[in-house]
Chains A and B, each alone.
Chain A
Amino acid sequence: MANIVGQEEWGQRPRQAEQHRQPIRSRASGGQRVFPSIIVSATDDQLIVRCEVPGMHLDNFDIRMAGDSLMIEGSRLTGEGLEGGWYHRRERESGGFSRAVRLPAEVDGDRADASYVAGILTVTLPLKKAAKPRQVPVKVVEA
């Protein structure tokens, strides 16, 4: 039998020192969150929701707007096509997911767009006019 897991794997041992080097998360804490983890960002005219869901196809996602929330649903089944063998290690998550993301601004759901590249799902949501930043004219009055 191939003893591939019996050997020392570098970078595996949990160490106390490692704790201090963990990247700072703004709100995430370890443990149970709804899959997938997301990053919400913005430009002047759109919101962007990103998540890492490798090994899918865009067709496998069900993405839609429900009120002021973006729904991202789908399923990823690992291990398909593998047979006649056995696992030494199974770390990749397998199953279904359903995540609702409450958006911080009003968006035009009809013009939303989704892309999937290298396992990253990116949903772009154009902001409605009222939500876009705009210049406020300021009148300067000489005293």
Chain B
Amino acid sequence: MEKVVPKIGLFLCVQGGRLSRTIDVNAMAGKFAKAKNVVRCEVVNDVWDPPFLDSIKKDVESSNIDRIMWVGRFTQHQIKHIEGELAATGLNVYLHEWCDLEEQGIGIEGTDPAVLKRKAESLVQMSLARTRLLVPLAPVELPASDALLIIGAGVAGIHTAATLVGLGKRVHLVEKQSGVGGKVALLSRFYPRLCDPHCGLQFALDKLLRSDLVEFHTLSDVVSLEGGPGNFEARIKKRPRYVNEQRCNACGACTAVCPVDAPASLALTGESSAGPVVSGAIGDLLQPKQKAVHAAIPMAFPSAFVVDRDLCPPGCNECEKKCPAQAVDLNQSEEDQILRVGAVLVTTGWDPYPLSRVSEFGYQRYPRIISNLEMEQLLGADRLGLGSHPELSSADLKEIGFVQCAGSRDERHLPYCSSVCCSVTLKQAVHLKETNPETNCYVFYIDVRSPGFDEDLYRRARNLGVVFNRELPSRVISNPVTGKLELQVIDPALNAPMEVNLDLLVLAGGMTPAQGTSDIAQVLNLPQNSYGFFESHYQCHPEESQRTGIYVAGCAREPMKVSHAIESGHLAAMKALSFLEGSILIEPTYPVVDKAKCDQCKRCMESCPFSSFVFDEKGFPIPDLARCRQCGNCMGLCPLNAVSLGHNTIKQMAAKVGAINPSFMGDKEPTVLAFLCQNDAYKAAREAVDKGLPVPPNVILIKVPCAGSVNNALVADALSNGIDGVLVGGCQDGQCHYVKGNQLVQKRSADLGDKLKSMMIDPSRVRFATLEIRDASKYVDLMQSYIAELRVMGPNPFKI
């Protein structure tokens, strides 16, 4: 590579700031005009002065200067505009160095002027050292697909797909069941308006049907995912439907001849085996029979029927013979398909908690105890055509009880609140009361959690005469003679036990991650939280998983109501859009591995919080640029300093550290170098200066992308350069934007501390501290106490 001799333009911008009050800017300009590689050095009063800007542009155009170092105080806004202005003349935006003296405390009056002068000069030297090493960089454009893969065609998946199709994006909807709609298709009514959920689903499906951008893959599972954001390659396995989707016209002739009469699937209960047989009409409703060939479930979409071959009697092919459209094909086999997509949205939803585990409420032990999801089926029966059962609204179902938090908020079962069950119960009680005022409803609860406008539902239930009892039943038994359920419960109003006889008991069970969630997690390499839901940054970026380009929405992330699930799907799609534009623009600040130094130890691969690294053909780790979030943890932990972020290379950082004058505070006072995470700790430090807090002048700070990007070699450099203490400031545990950068650097700092101890140097010269973004005063306290400790330790033995 040709050696470039840098030609630096150095401008000290006073702009009426505090700088000229505390240091002699003109003297500094005179001094640095003679510095190595500096070709032009001036004090500037107004950066926006047209003659000044023109003169720089002329210098840039005539190649008199090829990089600029700005000293002064600039906002992000100003930086953007100045860089943009000069980019027009051909100066790469990465050839600017911004040296903010005020954030380092140079503007604070009352400090010894000699100290300030030495510190300011040291800071300018640091930036100058870095400026010499700047290189022009350009963003990288990667080709990308324009399709989104949505796993799970439930309410979140369908609505999100409908919106995306409207935006002209292609969507692949993969669903493991034979039909779409997910859990919502099983519900009888939505709250708060008590309308039919099929209406909303059908509305979105109609939109999708009109578009040729969407492809449905029912009875399919994603079995592998290769590649990175923008260019994923998903392999799906499609189980046979045994019915030709194009030919089938859903006439139902096959179902009529099917000899099978098997119990329907247990999807409603989340149980692995069926409970006791319930006799009578309710039994027929709750334990419906199913033919081997039937319409797709939960919603008959696609309209083609499906054959459940596990239920078929051996040798039977009645349906194949009878089908007038010759659509049934019992010889279909499994198919594999490769989908090329730019991003993945996981909306795999939830399954009910198996209530038989909450044994005290007798689910599956006694008949007439059902889950809230089964209750939905019961309530929907009159509309599903199953409900030619007069018992439904007659005396047989007069006394109905609801047990809230059945297994939820319980350390033995689900420690969390599923957030919808209270409103669901209110909705069901209101529905029962409004259709048949003779019904008596009892709700046994711990707390009624009906957030927001759901409170209206609660008031409505109260006004309709639903009885609320703030105590769960202590005993549930079934009277074998009357067939009624006998509940023993404390009435807290009277503080006395009472007995309630019920015709039906509904257990409000909670939500668990859908069955198969851990399989998907394995295929997509997505971390799950302790409850089994997909991990997310629940507050700031709820839709983001820890894998770039893969998003999680709906109840696959956390229990939520339908409207939130739809919202979360759209939020995720919004974020995914950046990978669906046909190309992705990558900022050039990505990590680069120096292959001459790398010895393939793979530490970067293992510790990358986003699993961004892949092997190149020679076995070297290289980052998948689309996946990388440019946090620099790879740079921080490389034992050989072989990894560097663009524009923040380890050499540039080392040059800065090496240029510090360790004695800028004089002989007695300790000096501290602080590497601060730009997300939190650095902002806290900056705020401390801006607020005029007594920030000790002993500190020089260096902004880093993440505390985890600080390599121990840099800390060692600082110590052997004679700096008395090195502080690495990162986010609090669990708050790191890059998941675990703070933990990684904390461990490394502790290791280095142990080494210092064996070197007969006080290990607390290296320190890791956590700071939140507004911890300005905590930062000042921390620095003051640290400096006090360093004073006791005495000077660093390496100080000359």
Genuine A/B complex: no
